[in-house]
Structure 1
Amino acid sequence: MARTPKAGAAVRPSRSRAARPKTATADARLRVTAERLNTPSDLSPEASREIAEGLTVLLSDFLALYLKTKNFHWHVSGPHFRDYHLLLDEQAAQILAVTDDVAERARKIGGTTLRSLGQAARKTRIADNNADYVDPLDMLAELRDDNKATTARMRELHDLCDEHNDVSTASMLEEWIDQAEERTWFLYEASRRGGADGH
């Protein structure tokens, strides 16, 4: 039952928390929070922001690629089950192993990184595959293309690092590119269909 105001009492309009204007205290609190996460770096603020964002998007791609690789690892079937199952498990572990390095590199240069799966889902460029059944060779081909595309995007981020003379991030990217190229190679060879031309 709604409570009615007493006679003569002033009725104050209610204002939701979202409608309240920001106070100087709230703005100051945000500045303090940002300063606490602002790791000192000799890179320019622009370089730190751009490279950290590039790393955060790459991290989102790696997490999506990891989950898709595990999805196919869990759901692969057929006569080559064991070989494909083990290959995909090895590749997923390799992808997951670099995620912490990617995130920590963004923090080392004064940026921030992912805070949730929702944020990662919004940033990733890897398409989901929610099909009930995927042919094993189609699984390998899809992951091959995803790894190849991720390699190309890492080269673009490497170019950005070169522009800002961020040799450390560039060096790390070179290692991750090499790993992605190896995954692409293995997936390509494993997915070749038998025939006179090897396909």
Structure 2
Amino acid sequence: MPGDNAKKALNDSLNGLLADYFTLYMKTKNYHWHVAGPHFRSLHLLFDEQATELFGLTDIIAERVRKNGGDTLTSIASIADKTSLKDDKRSKLDAMDMVKALHDDNMALVKAIRAVKDAATEAGDNATEGMADDWTDQAETRAWFLRELLA
């Protein structure tokens, strides 16, 4: 039977993942708002689609923490403290640099999701394990779409 430490570690990893999702959501929306150039329309729409997907998962991840008896992120500061992704405050950036940054961040997100899955296994939380597989597939799909634009 997993102990309290395993559950605390799972909640901590879920909160880190939640912070990463919020950070990637905001970066993706920033790029959506500021993309320019010959691929404006397609990238504007792709970034919005991806941002919507990212934001949609934040509540699900936060609720996993609460279902596991933990507290979740409470502020912008708590997101900034927990994220492993780099923020990007720029409004002027080459469109393909945006694509590359989002690709790399989605691949980093895959690693964070896999760490959550490992923590879920340790805590005996098969529901989070199963969700992590879905989240991994979604992040890999986002990264694939972005990678193909860079080819």
TM-score using structure 2 length: 0.96
Q: Which residue of 2 aligns with 1:94?
A: 53
Give the letter aligned to residue 6 of structure 2.
A
Q: Is the 8 A contact 2:13 2:115 kept in 1?
A: no
Aligned pairs for 1:90-169 within 5 A: 90-169=49-128
CA distance, structure 2, for counterparts of residue 48 and residue 128 of structure 1: 29
RMSD: 1.2
Tell me the residue number matched to 2:39.
80
1:43 Cα deviation from its structure 2 partner: 5.4
Task: Tell which structure's C-alpha radius of gyration is larger.
Answer: 1
Supply the AA of the counterpart residue of 2:56.
Answer: A
Q: What is the CA distance between 1:128 and its match in structure 2?
A: 1.2
Greater length-normalized contact order (CA 8 Å, ≥ 6 residues apart): 2
State, as a whole percentage, how many aligned pairs show the same letter: 44
The 1-side partners of 2:119 and 2:58 are apart by 20
Moved over 6 A (4+): none
How far apart, CA to CA, are the structure 1 residues paired with 2:44 and 2:108?
Answer: 23
* TM-score, normalised with respect to structure 1: 0.73
Distance (whole Å) between structure 2 residues aligned to residue 191 and residue 92 of structure 1: 19
Aligned length: 151
Unaligned 5+ residue runs, structure 1? 1-41, 193-199
- Preserved contact between residue 43 and residue 166 of structure 1 (Cα < 8 Å): no
